[in-house]
A = this chain, B = another copy of it.
Amino acid sequence: MSISEKRSAQQLRDQGKAAFERLGVPADDARLCADLLVMADLFGLTTHGLSRLESYGERLRIGGINPKPAIQIERAANAVIKVDGDNGLGPVVGMRTLQATMDAAREHGVAVGFARGSNHFGPISPYLYEAAQAGFVSLVCSNATTTIAPWGGSDARLGNNPLGFGAPGDDGNHFMLDMAISVAARAKIRSALRDGTSIPETWATDAKGNPTTDPAKALEGFLQPMGGYKGYGLALMVDLLAGVMSDAAYLTHVKSWVDAPDEPQNLGHFFLLIDAKVLGPNGWLLSRMKDFMMILHASESANPDRPVLVPGEIELGRMRDRLRDGIDVDAAVLGLLN
């Protein structure tokens, strides 16, 4: 039986911070991490919100994640930041890299940040949001544990790597695209198995790498990238930027946090930040963004109940509602917080 309770975002930020402090994380880092996870909950991305206290907490307790990392930030060139996260919490390494990269982009118009020695850094939307609020266009990505086979291959050698893109919108209506590379999540395949239905043959392969419509075989096999070889290529692009070029682990060098929770994963992240104010006069980009979204919204929807949306619109709408009405927090998460 699952009972949920309403909490305000500020209550959750404070409780989340206290929970991370109890796990040995210094106050500033605990604040950063809790704020990011609560933002995920505000956006409705609950699988990447405070519920992560469970896996983050376990790994902090058994030494898989370093609660007090000595994060090193270095300028490899005027506009290139390299960060060694010292196996700290992913959201802490991610936010510190974002901040350093924004600082460099303020000086040079654009900057890139490469982080290594990191861990799961939460969903991407909060980084896009912070960047957009500060007036930056952003491209953010991370590599991940291997769950996808190379296109045409037969074993898991790449991650379901997340990729996000954001741009400041008029009146806070930012563009925020936050996506992973697989056609469908494994949870959807498990649902199909439970319901006794078949799955589309584009979702997954069996253990030998052949497309299958049988959810049981799919769960023994691999997720398929969206768009076939195109998604395969995009997942590789992310791993090249976030893993190879950052000096982190990549492909099969990435350790699984499920199989080896006590070992450092050495995940990598990549950030591109462009200072919007160098692109045109004050207000210029925002008025173009507004027109851009109006053109999309003006397309009559094929299904009258499902209007055309712009990426980020759903999440920002939920955030507005939840800042006003509070956030429904699951009993399991309330337990973690106490």
Are B153 and A296 in contact (CB-based, < 8 A)? yes
| A295 at interface by CB-CB < 8 Å | yes
Residue among A107, A108, A209, A289 with most chain B CB within 10 A: A108
Chain copies in the assembled complex: 2
Are A233 and B177 in contact (CB-based, < 8 A)? yes
Contact residues in B for A292 (Cβ distance below 8 Å): 239-240, 244, 250-251
| A112 at interface by CB-CB < 8 Å | yes
| A72 at interface by CB-CB < 8 Å | no
- A108-B137 CB under 8 A given contacts A240-B167, A300-B155: no
Partner among B137, B157, B232 whose Cβ is within 8 Å of the Cβ of A245 = B137
| A172 at interface by CB-CB < 8 Å | no
Closest CB in chain B relative to A254 CB, distance in Å: 11
Interface residues on A, range: 35 or more
Are A80 and B251 in contact (CB-based, < 8 A)? no
Interface residues of A (CB under 8 A from B): 76-80, 82, 107-112, 114, 137, 149-155, 157-158, 165, 167, 175, 177, 179, 183, 202, 205, 208-210, 226-234, 236-237, 239-241, 244-245, 247, 250-252, 272, 274-276, 278-280, 285, 288-289, 292, 295-296, 299-303, 306-311
